[in-house]
A and B are shown apart, each in its own frame.
Chain A
Amino acid sequence: MRAGRRARRLGFWILLAASLAFLLFPLVWMALGSFKTQVDFMAYPPKWRFNPTLANYEKVLGGSDFLRFALNSLIIAVGSTLLSLLVGTPAAYGIARYRQTRLGLLLLSARMAPGIAFLIPWFILFSKLRMIDTYPAVMLTHMVVVLPLVIWVLVGFFEEVPAELEEAGLIDGCSRLSVLARIALPLARPGLVATAILGIISSWNNFIFSLVIAGNNTRTLPVAIFNFVSYDSLNWGGLTAASTVITLPVLVMAFFVQKHIVRGLTLGALKG
């Protein structure tokens, strides 16, 4: 009996290690590769021990363009998330309190539609308004992805706010609006933070909209890295360094709000 239990425990740790190895290996490989020289990278069998170099990072970060693209990504991510929060928070509250399922269906269909379904009309519209390659235009397109996400997740958080507190407020003479502002919002604040982070991450990672709507002034990192590869004739050290630089911010953000991400995603999932 004892041996069986020990074997099961061992089995557990092995499986856990294997799962983590599978999920983390590419990230580790990417980080390792970013410190390799081109020669080392091209070696086969792959080198696990090598002299690390910072040359790749110097090249990637030294070129002023890369930081400019990072700034673009940041501006667009924060902008589209703030806009989505502004518009989405009341909507989420409404769904939570008034059970507006039809709005929920609208959101679900936003999730279902492929991005490409919007791109042609958007492009024509933004061109006519002379808004191509402007921050507002790109932010608006990102909202199609971020807004439904924001509402989805916030509904779950609002539902967690006990209705009794709000009822008490109403009885005390507050308007429904100030109940939202003064009771529900503060209580849902951790949810707002988590939602904001999720929104920023999904905008940061977006590729297809930025590919078509952004231009030289508003180019974001995912599009920039794609350009990087083709020109520089497969500079793999540079590519992995660039990938590391792009993914590091979102990975770090995820660490800080991991608890909330888990709650946010799963709450939205189960109740949606």
Chain B
Amino acid sequence: MPRSRRLLIAVLLTALLGAGSTWLLADPGPAAAQGAFDWKRFSGKQVRFLVNSHDWTNEIIRPAIPEFEQLTGIKVAWEIYPEDQFRQKLAVEMVSGSGSVDGFMSLTSWDGLRFLKAGWYEPIQKYIANPALTSPQFGFDDFFPNTRQIATVNGQLIGVPLYPEVQLLYYRKDVFKAKNMAVPQTMEEWEEAAKKLTDKANNFYGFVSRGKRSAAVYTLAPFIFNFGGQWLDKDGQPALTSPAAVKGLDTYGRMLRESGPPGVVNVHTYEVVDLMSQGRVAMASDSSNWVSSFENPSKSKVAGQLGYARIPRGPAGSHTPIISWAISVSAQSKNKEAAWYFVQWATSREMVLRQAKAKIPVARESAWKSPEFQGSLPKEWLAAFQATLPDGYPNQANPVVVAVPETRDVIGAAIVAAIEGQPAKDAADKAQKAVAEIIKKTQ
């Protein structure tokens, strides 16, 4: 071969090599796959997601949507509503069957059975298994097994889990220290401590948890479990009149009545967070998720002063529900693949890492173990969470039935009655009858 041609070939090869490696090594942005995965495959489509208001939807995803739109060319409408209205809105739209919703969030303990029976979930197992539709970076095995279990209803994988939560005891370390008190380990110690720390004259209360009708069912659950009760018996019938359940209801109502702030029957999770953050209560029990709010000095007066512990144990141990919201593709969607693209992007390693950095608990092991997550959260919280997890009951935030809202309203009414001082047995009887009736009508 003449020298000039060899030179030409060498130059061409070098150029190709250079261009190729530039292309290979270039970083087109977060969550972008290398190689064959085509992010722009559904460019030009539009998807609409209905989601629940949470730090994740508001602070992590919403600001990042332009990145997704640029990556894929898919336009996203990300509609956020507070929980109560979100449920109504979603239900009403899905019922109409118009396909106006492409994806949504759901809480499997609450919506799982009903949505599955209504045929609203698009099972995503087949999407995950399809390399043409799922980026190789996605790695579904990276998700903790019990979170994957939570997102599985009757054997179907219905969505990607987002932020697992258990219930924890939050307490004011400074207050306990000042009074030389130890963190309560048992239910009796808990009630004692709450009474001791209540100082009505100074508007400071020993304990707060949810008292608002439907919401309170969630925080009542550990009280029932710790005395040995369950929501449903093995026949799927309500077990609210068992001695354990009645004792749990009675204790919960009494503690809130005697050591809780006035107006506790109107307290939802947002008010629990507010009361704790404003420094008005010594202890609270609620979802583990709120740690990021509590430790945020711009939102919380007590940032840095809070301790985190397991919920005190009863005769049957310490058990809380484990639940997680999941993000799903709607079976009615006309753009299922495009919606799936969004789901996998929103739950990709990169996005979940961002979530972890913002101190929101994550369902991915890689993000959980990341130095950012481990480093940014209080050690005590991590320890308490990880200790609670093995003993938790998946999805048991309320009886797992089809008609959850109605059931929760009815049990919630019993909780309010107990807080108001009515005999727990009577309230439990009433709720038991009503829930049995609901189950009969709807299952």
Contact = CB atoms under 8 A, between A and B. Distances in A.
Interface string B287-312: 00000010000010000000000000
B92 A233 contact: no
Nearest to B53: A231
Interface stretch (B93-101, B185-193, B243-251): B93-101
B422 interface: no
Interface in B258-287: 270-271, 273-274, 277-278
A230 interface: yes
B85 interface: yes
B58 interface: yes
Interface stretch (A80-88, A126-134, A167-175, A247-255): A126-134
B79 interface: yes
Contacts of B93: 127, 132
A233 B273 contact: yes
Contacts of B277: 233
A116 to B, nearest CB: 12
Interface in A25-55: 42, 44
Q: What DSSP secondary structure best describes chain B's contact surface?
A: helix
B278 to A, nearest CB: 7
Given A127-B98, A128-B96, A227 B293 contact: no
B100 A211 contact: no
B144 interface: no
A64 interface: no
Given A227-B85, A233-B299, A234-B271, A216 B79 contact: yes
B100 A233 contact: no
A130 B93 CA distance: 11
B82 interface: yes
Interface in B63-104: 77, 79-85, 88-89, 92-93, 96-98, 100
Contacts of A215: 79, 89, 100
Contacts of B98: 127-128, 130, 132
Contacts of A42: 278
Interface in A217-263: 226-227, 229-231, 233-234
Interface residues of B, number: 27
Nearest to B77: A216
A174 to B, nearest CB: 50
B79 A127 contact: no
Contacts, number: 54
B105 to A, nearest CB: 15
Nearest to A125: B96
Given A215-B79, A226-B85, A227-B81, A234 B96 contact: no
Nearest to A229: B82
A209 interface: no
Contacts of A230: 53, 82-84, 270
Contacts of B79: 215-216
A123 B88 CA distance: 13
A140 B273 CA distance: 41
A233 B293 contact: yes
A23 B173 CA distance: 46
Contacts of A128: 96, 98
B104 to A, nearest CB: 13
A59 B64 CA distance: 21
A123 B58 CA distance: 28
B269 to A, nearest CB: 10
B274 A233 contact: yes
A140 to B, nearest CB: 16
A179 to B, nearest CB: 47
Nearest to A124: B96
A150 B96 CA distance: 32
Contacts of A133: 100
A44 B53 CA distance: 30
Contact of B100 (A132, A226, A227, A234): A132
Given A211-B85, A227-B53, A231-B53, A123 B270 contact: no
A132 B274 contact: no
A216 B80 CA distance: 9
A258 to B, nearest CB: 35
Interface string B334-372: 000000000000000000000000000000000000000
Nearest to A230: B82
B96 A127 contact: yes
Contacts of A74: none
A212 interface: yes
Given A130-B98, A215-B79, A234-B271, A123 B92 contact: yes
Given A128-B98, A132-B98, A234 B270 contact: yes
B270 A233 contact: yes
Interface in A185-231: 211-212, 215-216, 226-227, 229-231
A229 B98 CA distance: 30
A207 to B, nearest CB: 12
B58 A231 contact: yes
A211 B82 CA distance: 13
A227 B88 CA distance: 13
A234 B58 CA distance: 16
Contacts of A234: 270-271, 274
A211 B93 CA distance: 12
Contacts of B80: 227, 231
Given A227-B85, A231-B53, 9 more contacts: A124-B96, A211-B88, A212-B88, A212-B92, A215-B100, A226-B85, A230-B84, A231-B82, A234-B270
16 contacts: A42-B278, A123-B96, A127-B96, A127-B98, A128-B96, A132-B93, A211-B88, A216-B77, A226-B85, A227-B81, A229-B82, A230-B53, A230-B84, A230-B270, A233-B293, A233-B299
Interface of A: 42, 44, 123-124, 127-128, 130, 132-133, 211-212, 215-216, 226-227, 229-231, 233-234
